[in-house]
Amino acid sequence: MAPRVVVIGLASDFGCQVQMTNIEDHLLDVLGLIDLTYWQLASSGHLPAEYDVAIVEGAVTTEAHVEALRRVRETAGAVIAVGACAITGGIPAIASAGELADRYGCVYGEGGAEVACGRIAPMPVTAVIDVDYRVPGCPLDTDEFLRVLSRALQGLSGRIPEEPLCAACKTRENICFHDRGELCLGLVTRTGCGAKCVSLGRACTGCRGIAADANLDAAYALLASRGIPAEEFTRRLSLYNTLEEGCDR
Amino acid sequence: MFFRVMDKARIADLVRGLSTEYEVIGPVAKGERFTFSVIEDPADLRLDFDTTILPPKKFFFPPEERMMRFRVADNEVVDDEAFASPRVLFGLHPCDINALLLMDNVFLGEFEDPYYKAYRDATLLVGVSCSPRETCFCNAWDTDEVHWGFDIFLTDLGDRYFVSVRSVMGAELLDRHVETSPITAEDTAEFQAVVREFKRAFPAKLDTSQLPLLLDAKFDDPVWDELGERCLSCGACSMVCPTCYCFDVRDDLDPDQRSGERKRVWDSCQFSEFSAVAHGQTFRESRASRVKYRYYHKQWGYLSKFERVLCVGCGRCTHACLADISPREVVTALVEGSEAR
Amino acid sequence: MSTLTVEHVARIEGHGTITVDVEGGEVRDIRMDVIEPARFFESMVVGRRFDEIPLITSRICGICSPNHALTAIKALEDALGVEVSERTVLLRKLLVYGSYLQNHATHLYLFAAPDYVGLPSVFPLAKTAPEVVERALRIKKLGNDLTTLVGGRPIHPVTAVVGGFTAEPAPAQLEAFRAALLGIADDAVATAELFASFEEFDFAGAGEMLALFAEDDYAIYDGEISALDGEWRRPVGEYRSVLEERVVAHSNAKHSTVDGRTFMVGALPRINLSAARLGERARGAMRSAGLSPGSRNTFFNNVAQAVELIDAAERCAGYVERLLGTGGDSTPVPFAVRAGSGAGATEAPRGTLYHGYTVDDDGFVTAGDVVTPTAQNLGNLEADMRAFAPTVADLPREEFLLAIERLVRAYDPCLSCAVH
Amino acid sequence: MTASTTYRQLKANPYRPWPARITSIVDLTEKEKLIEMRLIDEAAREAFSFDAGQFVEVSLFGVGEAPISISSAPSKQGFIELCVRRAGDVTSALHQKQCGDIIGIRGPFGRGFPFPEMKGHDVLLVAGGLGIAPLKSLINHIHDDRHDFGNVTILYGAKNPSEILFRQQFDMWKHREDFELIMTVDQPDETWDDEVGLVTKLFDRIDVDPARTYGAICGPPVMYRYVIDEMRKKEMDADRIYVSFERRMKCGIGKCGHCGVGHQYACIDGPVFNYWEAMNLQEAI
Ligand SMILES: Cc1cc2nc3c(=O)[nH]c(=O)nc-3n(C[C@H](O)[C@H](O)[C@H](O)COP(=O)(O)OP(=O)(O)OC[C@H]3O[C@@H](n4cnc5c(N)ncnc54)[C@H](O)[C@@H]3O)c2cc1C
Ligand code: SF4
Ligand code: SF4
Ligand code: SF4
C-alpha cells in the first residue's frame, strides 16, 4: 500500500508548498508513489484521522498550531519539517522579539490586540515536536525535498548537512565576498543549497540556518578583526535565525 | 626531452590549432581572480595569471561525479562507464603538475580508479612558468620545478617561450599547429637566467626540518588548540587544494525510486561527520584534532606511503582561509615553536 | 437560524472559512472569516536595513514573491531617489510575468478547474486527461523557468536588488528562452478555450474596479492607479489617500474601499481597463471567449487570467528580444543612502500591490506599509457573496456551498498575503 | 594474490559491486543476523579468496554501502558469511533482505590476521560483543588446520546472555578438548551461571606462554587499551598482539580518506594492525 502523505501549512507564505508543486518534471512520478490524502492548497477534503507521513510547513504562531502539531506527532510515523519557518522560525520569527500586542498595534492600530486571542510568539515546528526529517532553506530546494521525501519513504534516517557553506561556494569558484570586504553569512550557514545566492552575486543571508559545525565564536572574532562589529553580524544573522543559539551578541 | 623556442604571439595559433582536435582549457579571468575554463576565444587565455581559485583537479576528479547508474529492484549496475572526451589543459604551473602526480599515486596506484584514469588518459597537459607570489612556498617541497608529467612546458622568456617537449603527442601537436624554431645557446642561457631569477624571487624559504617527526613529537602542542579555536570548519582549504582528494559517496534515487545513481562528492576532514560512525561516535570530535589531522596526513600520512609530502605549496588554502590559517604558519609554529609566529 | 460553514476553504492560498447564516431557507448573512494568523510584516520591517526589506517582504507570499520583492524595491528606490536603467526595468517586467505564468497556471488548473469537472483536486485528471495536466505543468514550469532565469530561483528572487540586478542571464539562455515562450502561446490559447467552454454563473458584481494603467503598455510594472467607474487616475504615491482600509472583527485581514465603495482588483479589472493594450492574439482569444471589456461577472476573472497568459507569452518574447538586441547594463546603480519616504506599486497576478516605506539617514526602515490585492478584494468579495448567495439559495446544500466556493476561488484569493 | 591485483587482472572497476545471492539467513539475536551469500559471477567467485580479518563492502543501491568483516573461514570456498548488526541505514536494509535476494559485494579488502605466521603457536583471542565476527573467521580457520596450532584460548565478553553470538558453535567448541572458551557477561540473568564482569577479568583464569603466543583482539573501541594491558602483563610481545579497528569508510580501497587512523588508513593498512604499529598510530587506541 502506498504511504499516506499529508501536507500541513502553519504560518507561512506557502512558498515551500509552492516549491513542492514546482517539481513539474517529476510531480507525476512522485504522485505515483504516494497516496496524497490531504493537501489544503491543492485539494478539497479534510485532514484524515490516520496517515503515515506528515509534511509540515510554516512557523507556529497560535495555540491551535501547537495542539495540531502534537496530534500530528502522535499520528504520523514520520514528520518532515520543510522550510526555514518550520525549522528555525525563519522570517516569521523576527516577530518573536518584544511584545506581541505592540505588533498588533503597529499593524491594526488601536485595539488591535483584541484580535490576538490564541496568538503566541512565533517559533519553529522543531521547538514543539521532534521531527524525523528536515528540508531547510527559504524556500526549500525542490531537489533536496525530493531526496528527503525519498529517504522518508524508504524509511532511511534523516540526515542534513552540518557544515558551513564555504566549501560548496569554493566548488562554484565564486569570489568570496569577504575578499571585497563585504559580509557573507556563508561562513556559518548550513550548506546544501549549492551556494545559490553567492553564485548569483549576492552574499548569503543564512536562510538554511546555522550549521552545527559552524564556529560562531571564531566567526565573530575574525569579522571584528576585519572591522565588522558584532551587532552588525548579529543583525544580519537574525534575518532567518532570530531564535538560533549563539547568534545573539 | 627536446626543446624549441616559440614567438609569444604564436600562442593564439597554437590554441586555435589545438581547438580543431581538442577541447582547450586554460586560465581565464573571473573578476579579480582566475579559473580554468574552456577557451572559446584564444584572447581569453591569460597565461599571465597568478593562480586559479580551484586547481586543475576538478577536471580529473570533479566536485560531484557520477560513478554508476543502478536499478533498485535487482540491485544491478546499469552503467559504470568512465568517459572523457579529448582535451588539452593549458597553463599549468609547476605546482599544479606536481599536484597531479601526487594524485596519480592515490588514484592510479593500488586499485586503479577508472574514472580518474579515463580523464587523465584523455588529457594533454601544457605547463607554463610562473613567478612566485607572497603566498607561494613550493620551493619548500621542491615542487617549484617539474621534470615530467607534462606534454609541453612553456617558459616565459619575455618575447618568446622556451618550449620543453616531453611527449610524442606534445611534439606532434607542436609540429602540426605552430611555427617554432630550434633553440640557440642564447636561448638556453636566457632560460637559465630566468630560472635563477625565479628561484631568487621567492619569499624566505620555509624551514621544514624534521617536520614528520615533529608532527608526532608535538602532537599535543597547544598550537593545535589555538588553531582549533580559529578554524571555521568550513572545509574551504580542502576544496581549493590541488592535492586533497577525500570524497563522500551518495546514492541518489530518481523521483520514481526505481533507479538512481551513485555519486561521489568532494569531502573534507574538517567536517565533524567525516569520521563519524554508526551511533554518532566521532573519532575527531574537536576542531583542533581535525585541523591537526589535515596537516598530519599531508605532511606525514601520505609521506609514509609515497615518500612525498601531500602539498605543493601553491598557497590556495592560505588565500581561501578566512581565519588566515596557512601551511606556512602551521609549519613554522611546529618547527620554530609557536612563539616564533 | 442555522449556520453553514466551509472550513479551511481548499485550493486557495491561506486559511479561511466561509460562514453562511440561514434562516427559514433565506440567507441572512454570509462572511469570509480569515483565520490565517498575522505575521506582522509591517512591524517586522521596522528597524531593518533597506537591503533586507525585499527579502523580508517577498516572504509575504510564495506565489507573488517577485511582486513583493519588486514593489518593495520600487518603494525604496522612490524613498532613496534611485533611478534604474531601462534594462533593469525590462528584466523586472520579465520577473513579474514569470509570476503571472506560474500563478495563473496554478490557479486555473490546480485551484479552479477541479470545480468545473466535479473533482476534489486536479490529480485524478493525471490519469483521465493527462494532456490537460501536462499542459498545466508546462505553463507553470515555463513561469518557474522565467523567474529562475531572471531571479535565480522559482520564488523569492535572489538577483533583484535596489538599483538593479546582481546577475543577468547569459545571452544563450535568453535566446533559448525566447523560443520556449513562443512555444507556450498555443498552450495559453488552449487554456483560454478550456475556460471559455465551462459554463459560468450569470452574475454581475456591483463594486468598482481598479488597476494600474499606462498609455503605452499593458501596465503591470508601472502606471497610475485607475478606476473603471470613477474614470479617474491618480499617481501611485497617493495610494494611501485613495484607499481606505479598516479593521473588521471576523477577519485578520483588513477590508478596503475606494470612494466609499468596495472594489475589485485582478485580471478582470486589468483587462477591463487595458484591453486595447493587449496583444493581438490575446484580444482574439478574449473575443472568442465572450469576454467583453467592461464585464462585471466576477467569475470571468478566470478566463481573464487565461487571456493574460497568452499576452504574457508574446509580450515576454518581445522583451527578451529587446534584451538581446539592445545593450545596456543592469548592475545596481550606485546611490547614496539618505532619509526619505517612498511608495511603489506593481500589478501582482491577483491585482495591484502597494508598498510604502520611510527610512532614516542610515537606511533603516522606521515605518512600512503593505496593501495586498486580496486585502483590497475581501470587502468586495463579501459584497459579491451577499449578492450572489440568494440567486443560488435554492440549490441543494452541497451545491450551494460549492457555488459560493467557486465565487471565492474566482478571486484567486491569497489569504496569507491578505493578512501578512 | 592481493585484492588489488585480482581487480587488475579481472579488469574490474573496484567501485562496482559484484552481485551476490543470499543463500541463508540466521537470526542470532535481536540485533544481529548471520547472512551467507554466494557471488553470482563465476570469474569473481573464483578470484574471491580472503584472509581472516578482511572485510567486504556490502552495497545496497539506493541506500549505500557498509564495510563488514567476513566471518566465515577462508576455506569455505565460494561462500561469504557476514555477521551484521543493525546499526543504521545499510545494515537495517540488509536485515530486511530475504533468502534469494541479490545484494552487492566489493572486496575482499584490507589486511587480515597473519595466519601463516601464527601457525605453530598458541593463540589467545579476545572478543567483545560484535568483535567476535572477524575473530570467528580466524577461529574457523584455525579449526580447519587445528593440528598446526598449540593452545587456542578464546575470551569473550558480552553485555548480557541474550547478546552472545554464535552460542551453539561455542558450546560445541567448549565440549572439545582443543579450544578453551571462557565467556563473561556484564549483566547476568537467571540462566547465567558463568563469569560476570569485564572480559579483562578472565585473564586471571588463563596461563599464557609469552614466548609462543599470538594475541588477537576485536571489540568496541574502549576495550582495546585494557585488554592490551592484560596481555602486556602476561609479557606478550607488542608485535604479536593483533587488533582490528573500525573506522568510517566509504571506498574501502584507500581513496576516500575517511578511515584515517594516525598516519595510516584502516581500509588498506588495516583493519588488522599489530600492537606495535597501533601504538605508533596517533589517536588509535
Ligand atoms: C573494517 C570494518 C569491519 C566491520 N565489520 C562489521 C561486522 O562484521 N558486522 C557489523 O555489524 N558491523 C561491522 N562494521 C561496522 C559497520 O560497517 C557499520 O555498523 C555500518 O557501516 C553502519 O552503516 P549503516 O548504514 O547501517 O549505518 P549509518 O549510521 O546509517 O551509516 C551511514 C554511513 O556512515 C558510515 N559508517 C557508519 N558507521 C561506520 C562504521 N562503524 N565504520 C565505517 N563506516 C561507518 C558508512 O559509510 C555508512 O554508509 C565494520 C566496520 C569496519 C570499518
Ligand atoms: S521557509 Fe520561506 S519559502 Fe518556506 S514557507 Fe517559510 S517563508 Fe515561505
Ligand atoms: S546562499 Fe545562503 S541565503 Fe542563499 S540559498 Fe544558500 S543558504 Fe540560503
Ligand atoms: S595544502 Fe595548501 S598550499 Fe599545500 S597544496 Fe594544498 S592548497 Fe596548496
Domain ranges of chain B: 2-200, 211-336
In C220-286, DSSP assigns E strands to 224-227, 233-234, 243-246, 255-258, 263-264
Q: Is D218 left (phi over 0), alpha (psi -120 to 50) or beta?
A: beta
Question: Which residue shows C-alpha cell 508601472?
Answer: C222
Ligand nearest to the CA of A94: 2
Arithmetic mean of pLDDT over chain C: 91
CA distance B286 to chain A (A): 10
CA distance B22 to chain D (A): 27
Ligand 4 center to B192 CA (angstroms): 27
Ligand 4 center to C150 CA (angstroms): 37
Average pLDDT over every residue of C27-49: 86
Query: Which residue, among C286, C111, C303, has the nearest Cα to C199 in the 3D structure?
Result: C303
The pLDDT assigned to A131 comes to 97
Q: What are the cell numbers at A83?
A: 522550510
Q: Is residue C65 part of a domain?
A: yes
Q: What is the DSSP letter of C107?
A: I
| Contact flag A154-D63 (C-beta cutoff 8 Å) | yes
CA distance A84 to A16: 9
Q: What are the cell numbers at A95?
A: 516577530
Nearest C-alpha to atom 24 of ligand 1 is from which residue?
D88
CA distance B325 to B229: 11
For chains C and B, having 3+ Cβ pairs within 8 Å is answered: no
Mutate to test the pocket of ligand 1, among D249, D251, D259 (most ligand atoms within 8 A of CB): D249
- Could you report how far apart the first and last alpha carbons of chain B are, in Å? 43
Instruction: Write out the H or E segment, with its range, that includes residue B15.
Output: helix B11-21
Q: What is the CA radius of gyration of chain C?
A: 21
CA distance D69 to B138: 42
Residue in chain C lying closest to A105 (CA) = C43
Nearest C-alpha to atom 6 of ligand 2 is from which residue?
A85
Nearest C-alpha to atom 2 of ligand 3 is from which residue?
A204
Which superfamily does CATH assign the domain made up of A4-154 to?
NADH:ubiquinone oxidoreductase-like, 20kDa subunit (3.40.50.700)
- A112 CB within 8 Å of a chain C CB: yes
CA distance C229 to C206: 11
Q: Is residue C25 part of a domain?
A: no
- A24 CB within 8 Å of a chain C CB: yes
Q: Is residue C359 part of a domain?
A: yes
- Per-residue pLDDT reduced to its tens digit, B273-302: 999 887 778 889 899 999 999 999 999 999
Quick check: C63 pLDDT over 90? no
Q: Is B185 left (phi over 0), alpha (psi -120 to 50) or beta?
A: alpha
In chain B, DSSP assigns E strands to 2-7, 23-30, 33-38, 64-71, 76-79, 87-92, 123-128, 152-156, 160-165, 181-182, 247-253, 259-266
Quick check: C356 pLDDT over 90? yes
The pLDDT assigned to A114 comes to 55
Residue in chain A lying closest to B317 (CA) = A170
Single-letter residue type at B42 = P
With beta carbons under 8 A apart, name residues in chain A contacting C73: none
Answer whether B313 contacts ligand 4 (Cβ < 6 A): yes
Q: Assign C28 a pLDDT band (cuts: 50, 70, 90).
A: confident
Q: Is residue C20 part of a domain?
A: no
CATH class of D3-109: mainly beta
Quick check: B339 pLDDT over 70? no
Q: What are the cell numbers at C380?
A: 468586495
Arithmetic mean of pLDDT over chain B: 93
With beta carbons under 8 A apart, name residues in chain D contacting B264: 256
Quick check: C411 pLDDT over 60? yes
- Per-residue pLDDT reduced to its tens digit, C314-353: 999 999 999 999 888 999 999 999 999 999 999 999 999 9
Average pLDDT over every residue of B110-127: 96
Q: Is residue C23 part of a domain?
A: no
Q: How far is CA D71 from CA A16, C113, D156, D250, in A?
A: 48, 62, 16, 20
Number of residues that make up chain B: 341
What order do you get walking across the sheet with D102-109 strand by strand?
A: D64-69, D55-60, D102-109, D18-27, D32-39, D79-85
Q: Assign A117 a pLDDT band (cuts: 50, 70, 90).
A: low
Ligand 1 center to D244 CA (angstroms): 14
Atom from ligand 1 closest to the CA of residue D271: 1
Question: Which residue shows C-alpha cell 582561509?
Answer: B321
The answer to whether B116 touches B108, Cβ cutoff 8 Å, is: yes
Average pLDDT over every residue of C185-206: 90
| Contact flag D63-A157 (C-beta cutoff 8 Å) | no
CA distance C227 to A213: 56
Q: Assign B10 a pLDDT band (cuts: 50, 70, 90).
A: very high
Q: Assign A167 a pLDDT band (cuts: 50, 70, 90).
A: very high
Ligand nearest to the CA of A187: 3
The pLDDT assigned to A116 comes to 56
Question: Which residue shows C-alpha cell 493527462?
Answer: C130
pLDDT (tens, 9 = 90+) of chain D, 285 residues, equals 577 778 888 888 999 999 999 999 999 888 999 999 999 998 888 888 899 999 999 999 999 999 999 999 888 778 999 999 999 999 999 999 999 999 999 999 999 999 999 998 999 999 998 899 889 999 988 888 888 888 888 999 988 888 888 888 777 777 666 788 888 888 888 888 888 888 888 888 888 888 899 999 999 888 899 999 988 988 888 999 999 998 999 999 999 999 999 999 999 998 999 999 998 898 888
CA distance A234 to chain C (A): 12
Q: Which partners does chain C have (≥3 C-beta pairs < 8 Å)? A: A
Quick check: B341 pLDDT over 80? no
Environment class of residue B84 by beta-carbon count within 10 Å: exposed (0-12), middle (13-18) or buried (19+)? middle
CA distance C26 to C299: 23
Comparing A168-172, C33-37, C257-261, the range with the smallest average pLDDT is C33-37
Quick check: A248 pLDDT over 80? no
Give ranges for CATH 3.40.50.80 in chain D: 115-244
Q: What is the DSSP letter of B206?
A: P
| Contact flag A166-B240 (C-beta cutoff 8 Å) | no
pTM of the model: 0.92
Q: Assign A111 a pLDDT band (cuts: 50, 70, 90).
A: low
Q: What is the DSSP letter of C201?
A: -
Q: What are the cell numbers at B218?
A: 608535538
Nearest C-alpha to atom 2 of ligand 2 is from which residue?
A138
| Contact flag A154-D62 (C-beta cutoff 8 Å) | yes
The answer to whether B87 touches B23, Cβ cutoff 8 Å, is: yes
Q: Is residue C27 part of a domain?
A: no
Residue to mutate among B234, B267, B324, with most A CBs inside 10 A, is B234
Ligand 1 center to D133 CA (angstroms): 13
Residue to mutate among D18, D258, D261, D281, with most B CBs inside 10 A, is D258
Q: Which partners does chain D have (≥3 C-beta pairs < 8 Å)? A: A, B
Question: Which residue shows C-alpha cell 496517515?
Answer: A51
The answer to whether C219 touches C278, Cβ cutoff 8 Å, is: no
| Phi and psi, residue C301, nearest 5° | -55, -30
CA distance C391 to C27: 10
Give ranges for CATH 2.40.30.10 in chain D: 3-109
DSSP H helical segments within chain D, as ranges? 3-9, 42-47, 89-95, 115-118, 132-144, 167-174, 223-233, 275-279
- B273 CB within 8 Å of a chain A CB: yes
The pLDDT assigned to C13 comes to 78
| Contact flag A162-B272 (C-beta cutoff 8 Å) | yes
| Contact flag A42-C11 (C-beta cutoff 8 Å) | yes
Mutate to test the pocket of ligand 1, among D90, D255, D272 (most ligand atoms within 8 A of CB): D90
Average pLDDT over every residue of B85-91: 95
Q: Tell me which residue range forms the domain holding C158.
A: 41-382
The answer to whether B128 touches B94, Cβ cutoff 8 Å, is: no
Answer whether B93 contacts ligand 4 (Cβ < 6 A): no
- D89 CB within 8 Å of a chain A CB: yes
SS3 content of chain B, % helix, strand, coil (to 5): 40, 20, 35
The answer to whether D141 touches D115, Cβ cutoff 8 Å, is: yes
Answer whether A207 contacts ligand 3 (Cβ < 6 A): yes
- Per-residue pLDDT reduced to its tens digit, C129-178: 888 888 998 999 999 999 999 999 999 999 999 999 999 999 999 999 99
ipTM of this complex prediction, to 2 decimal places: 0.91
Which residues approach ligand 2 with their CB closer than 6 A?
Answer: A 12-13, 15-16, 57-58, 83-85, 90-91, 138-139; C 59, 62
Average pLDDT over every residue of B318-327: 95
Ligand 1 center to D66 CA (angstroms): 5
- Per-residue pLDDT reduced to its tens digit, B220-229: 999 999 999 9
Q: Which residues of A touch D (CB under 8 A)?
A: 154-157
Angle between helices C171-197 and C130-151 (to 10 degrees): 140
Question: Which residue shows C-alpha cell 591485483?
Answer: D5
| Phi and psi, residue B182, nearest 5° | -65, 155
- Parallel, antiparallel, or unpaired: how do β-strands D241-244 and C224-227 relate? unpaired
- Parallel, antiparallel, or unpaired: how do β-strands D195-196 and D213-218 relate? unpaired
- A16 CB within 8 Å of a chain C CB: yes
The pLDDT assigned to B198 comes to 94
For chains A and B, having 3+ Cβ pairs within 8 Å is answered: yes
In the three-class reduction of DSSP (H, G, I as helix; E, B as strand; rest coil), residue C288 is classed as helix
Quick check: A112 pLDDT over 60? no
Which residues approach ligand 1 with their CB closer than 6 A?
Answer: A 157; B 277-278; D 55, 64-69, 83-85, 87-91, 130, 133, 246-250, 271
The pLDDT assigned to D248 comes to 92
Ligand nearest to the CA of A203: 3
| Contact flag D62-B106 (C-beta cutoff 8 Å) | no
Nearest C-alpha to atom 29 of ligand 1 is from which residue?
B278
Ligand 3 center to C157 CA (angstroms): 12
Residues near D217 by beta carbon (within 8 Å), at least 6 away in sequence: D125, D126, D127, D131, D223, D224, D227, D228, D231, D241, D242, D243, D244
CA distance A141 to B64: 18
Q: How far is CA B336 from CA B207, B223, B224, C63, D267, in A?
A: 8, 12, 14, 61, 35
Of D16, D17, D268, the CB nearest to B110: D268
Q: D115-244 in CATH: which number?
A: 3.40.50.80
With beta carbons under 8 A apart, name residues in chain A contacting D92: 155
CA distance A210 to chain B (A): 12
CA distance C22 to B46: 80
Query: Which residue, among D165, D190, D191, D194, has the nearest Cα to D182 in the 3D structure?
Result: D194
**Domain coordinates in residue numbering, chain A:** 4-154, 166-241
- Per-residue pLDDT reduced to its tens digit, C226-265: 999 999 999 999 999 999 988 887 778 888 999 999 999 9
